[in-house]
Amino acid sequence: MTHSPPTHPQPKNSPLTPGIVASRLPAAAYDQNFSDHQAPLREHEARVAADRCYFCHDAPCMTACPTSIDIPLFIRQIATGTPDAAAKTILAQNIMGGMCARVCPTETLCEEVCVREVAEGKPVEIGRLQRFATDILMDKGVHPFSRAALTGKKVAVVGAGPAGLSAAHRLAMKGHDVVVFDARQKPGGLNEFGIASYKSTQDFAAREVEWLLQIGGITVHTGRVLGSDISLVELQAVYDAVFLAMGLGGVNALGSPGEDLNSVRDAVDFISDLRQSRDMPAVPIGRDVVVIGGGMTAVDAAVQSKLLGAQNVTIVYRRGQDRMSASGYEQEHATSAGVKIVTHAAPKAIRAGEIELAYMAEGPQGLKPTGETFVLKADQVFKAIGQVLDRAPQGMSITGGKIAVSGAGRTSIAGIWAGGDCATGGDDLTVTAVAEGRDAAEDIHLALMG
């Protein structure tokens, strides 16, 4: 893997934003606040949790899993004292099962349809059991898969996030040589730069990438941007197939006066800077923080603002709370951390120290302002209203702002596949991106081998 030494950018205090300061909390508080927010299961706890599983023959949890992991099988393997075998069952379907166990919204996927949840209101802890098994195997430094006979084929993957790495691993396992290009100075994509720090501690994302690359046959080049450093035409000329998985690099605009103030930041940049920081107290934060948006990024930005010492943190969403894309579990986590959620409101204007918001109502003509407004104190505002594809590949069919795909990721150009957040059909989850990368790799393999 070739890449420059990682940098750890820190947001700077600005003379125009005096309310945004560093070290709001005692030094010891940061270690506690940003520790693992859900402790891993110990062996005895895992055996007890596994014993609650009914091992359903037609398991609804398996159907609900985007990567179709055989959940009853891996839980039975934990129950019988073979967590290494359980890990291999998981990783055979989801090579990034360790990270997915930490960040996947299991409460709205596998655990939501668990028979125990339906009958008793308390599901089997599938996510924590998955983490238990995969952590044991990864901590041993064991990679359970090996490459097939080399095919002589070369595949380019653009993007070293969950979709790209999943595809690269599956292609390498099939015997192809894979070269991965990523725009950042460090691989990992969303897992490395876009996940709340308290969900992925102790450099887990980086350790998972290093472990994944043990399969061999994968070369990673960082700091290479599609469209400026490399072109699609060049990749087509050199490689037998191309898989695009560069995510969504652009951020939607609020379209409100004051959006260009220094006190306004993209939430994704804030989360990224925080993830790369080695000195949490040095990260400045406002006293009164407002986050605009209703998804996971908004929740992560809001909760971490609170953990950094912000006194008042408010999530503002233009529709009702039931329309927020962040799960109910994540919303509850935010409110339990002290975050206030205000719904049916949208930004009208941002000024120094405050934000003016308009009440919104939904009617036959859609979402409209009611004419009433209110003001919140805000020395810092984070935008979390979605991302867009900022570098659409030339000549490729685009639908809804994303690369149009059919089947297992086939684009409108022969020999080019796409998956993950940059392509249509996904729901912007790590686990879905992994599934799309895996399935595209299988389709690429079939196409290359005739």
Domain-wise residue ranges, the chain? 43-139, 154-249+389-448, 253-386
Class in CATH terms, 253-386: alpha beta
Q: How do residues 133-156 score in pLDDT, each as one tens digit?
A: 999 999 999 899 999 999 999 999
Q: Taking the model in full, what pTM does it have?
A: 0.91
Q: What percent of the chain has pLDDT over 90?
A: 85
Predicted confidence at residue 7, as pLDDT, reads 40
Predicted confidence at residue 95, as pLDDT, reads 98
How many CA atoms, within 13 angstroms, populate the side-chain half-sphere of residue 292? 29
Predicted confidence at residue 389, as pLDDT, reads 87
Q: What's the average model confidence in pLDDT over 240-262?
A: 92
| pLDDT beyond 80 at 319 | yes
Q: How do residues 59-107 score in pLDDT, each as one tens digit?
A: 999 999 999 999 999 999 999 999 999 999 999 999 999 999 999 999 9
Tell me the CATH architecture of domain 154-249+389-448. Answer: 3-Layer(bba) Sandwich (3.50)
Judged by DSSP in three states, 380 sits in strand
Task: Report how far residue 43's alpha carbon sits from residue 82's, in angstroms, rounded to the nearest whole number.
Answer: 11
Binned at pLDDT 50, 70 and 90, residue 251 comes out as: confident
Q: Which residues contact 336 (CB under 8 A, 6 or more apart)?
A: none
Q: Do 43-139 and 154-249+389-448 share a fold?
A: no
Predicted confidence at residue 1, as pLDDT, reads 58
> CATH classification of 43-139, choosing from 3.40.50.620, 3.30.200.20, 2.40.50.140, 1.10.1060.10?
1.10.1060.10
In this structure, which amino acid lies at residue 54? Y
Task: Report how far residue 442's alpha carbon sits from residue 174's, in angstroms, rounded to the nearest whole number.
Answer: 9
Q: What does the mean pLDDT of the chain come to?
A: 93
Binned at pLDDT 50, 70 and 90, residue 354 comes out as: very high
Under 8 Å between Cβ of 17 and 235:
no
| pLDDT beyond 50 at 132 | yes
Predicted confidence at residue 381, as pLDDT, reads 97
Judged by DSSP in three states, 106 sits in helix
| pLDDT beyond 50 at 6 | no
